[in-house]
């Protein structure tokens, strides 16, 4: 089976590509390398291009002729999306629309879409199931929900089947595969905490301690990249086997607060890095925890790395590796 991955040079896409390679799929990557890295492409066939450029996508699809597309390419920063909404709608919505159109023109049958827990906004109750109300509170979540709606309408009147994965907080790395998140200016909590432990940033700031949670800091469901990657394959298997489109939450169903993450990170790194209390970050819901029942019951996915210490330990090994090989941040 041939699969084309947009954003396959990025953190999640490159790891899914690695897994697909291991499982014997034929892979091609379409990426503009704005946030991705050349080294993360490994030996995969590569199309340099931008999803905002329709002819570049159509050319890649006409040449590679994939059976399925996995669409990772997107802007993903919640706070940035509140400051630059146009940028998010243009890349995430118009880019996806271009890709879907090219997919239909190229007779691609299966479409796996990276969505997000941010589509739920501030959920009425946690854990959150897939049929909870979607009411995003930032343009990032809104842009992903718009694409979900487009996919639903298009799948109703076409042969295309989609699998939508609503990711919760992805973290961790795979040091053996030499793949992980490599960002010069990371915004994600676990990466920033580990950079503070390495002394790369002077301190970690907690964005708000007045949330309606147990310790007042935001709670998230952190999922290991290794488990997240497998979910893509199991969802693809499911939509193929059942010939059906479906939406899945991808998380473990357990949440950790910002303060708890900091505590675990201090234990793993054995560094007592400075922590400051700051103001709330715009666009942050207090608590996001997945109800993963649907993924667990309908597909063969099973979590294997659902331990916060493992996630942070693997992320730490990767950050130490990056620290020794800073060139990886450059290309």
Count of positions on this chain that bind ligand UFG (CB under 6 A): 21
Pick out residues in 237-276 that bind ligand UFG (CB under 6 A): 258
Nearest approach in angstroms of CB 193 to ligand UFG is 7
Q: Which of 46, 207, 230, 256 binds ligand UFG (CB under 6 A)?
A: 207
Which residue among 4, 112, 117, 228 contacts ligand UFG (CB under 6 A)? 117
Residues involved in catalysis: 140
Q: Which stretch binds ligand UFG (CB under 6 A): 45-53, 113-121, 240-248, 317-325?
A: 113-121
Q: Is 205 in the site for ligand UFG (CB under 6 A)?
A: yes
| Pairing outcome for strands 2-6 and 68-71 | parallel
Stretch that binds ligand UFG, among 146-154, 280-288, 299-307, 310-318 (CB under 6 A): 280-288
Which of positions 137-196 make contact with ligand UFG (CB under 6 A)?
Answer: 168-169, 187-189, 192
CB 283 to ligand UFG: min, Å: 8
Contact at 8 Å (CB) between 109 and 315?
no
* Dihedral angle computed from the Cα positions of residues 264, 269, 272 and 274, in that order, rounded to the nearest 10 degrees: -80
Q: Which is nearer to ligand UFG, 213 or 323 (CB)?
A: 213
Query: Do residues 145 and 92 make contact, with C-beta atoms less than 8 angstroms apart?
Result: no
* Chain center to CA of 279: 26
Distance, in Å, from the CA atom of 167 to the CA atom of 264, rounded to the nearest integer, reads 22
- Give the Cα separation of 14 and 73 in Å (integer): 11
List residues near ligand UFG by CB under 6 A. Answer: 76, 78, 116-118, 168-169, 187-189, 192, 204-207, 218, 220, 258, 281, 284, 288
């Amino acid at each position: 089976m041939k699969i084309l991955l947009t954003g396959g040079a990025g953190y999640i896409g490159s790891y899914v590509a690695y897994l697909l390679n291991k499982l014997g799929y034929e892979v091609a990557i379409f990426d503009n390398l704005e946030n991705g890295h050349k080294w993360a492409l490994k030996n995969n066939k590569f199309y340099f291009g931008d999803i905002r450029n329709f002819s570049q996508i159509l050319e890649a699809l006409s040449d590679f002729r994939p059976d399925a597309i996995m669409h990772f390419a997107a802007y993903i920063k919640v706070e940035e999306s509140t400051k630059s909404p146009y940028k998010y709608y243009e890349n995430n919505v118009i880019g996806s629309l271009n890709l879907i159109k090219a997919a239909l023109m190229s007779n691609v049958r299966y479409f796996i879409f990276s969505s997000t827990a941010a589509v739920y906004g501030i959920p009425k109750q946690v854990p959150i199931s897939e049929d909870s109300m979607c009411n995003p509170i930032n343009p990032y979540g809104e842009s992903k929900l718009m694409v979900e709606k487009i996919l639903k309408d298009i799948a109703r009147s076409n042969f295309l089947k989609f699998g939508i994965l609503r990711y919760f907080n992805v973290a961790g790395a795979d040091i053996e595969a030499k793949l992980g998140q490599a960002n010069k200016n990371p915004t994600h909590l676990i990466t920033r905490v580990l950079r503070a432990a390495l002394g790369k940033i002077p301190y970690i700031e907690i964005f708000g301690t007045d949330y309606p949670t147990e310790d007042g800091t935001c709670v998230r469901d952190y999922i290991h990249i290794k488990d997240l990657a497998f979910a893509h394959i199991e969802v693809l298997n499911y939509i193929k086997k059942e010939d059906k489109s479906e939406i899945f939450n991808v998380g473990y169903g357990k949440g950790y607060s910002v303060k708890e993450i900091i505590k675990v990170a201090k234990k793993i790194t054995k560094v007592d890095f400075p922590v400051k209390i700051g103001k709330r970050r715009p666009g942050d819901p207090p608590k996001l925890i997945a109800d993963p029942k649907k993924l667990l019951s309908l597909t063969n996915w099973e979590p294997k790395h659902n331990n916060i210490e493992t996630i942070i330990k693997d992320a730490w090994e990767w950050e130490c590796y990056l620290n020794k090989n800073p060139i990886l941040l450059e290309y």
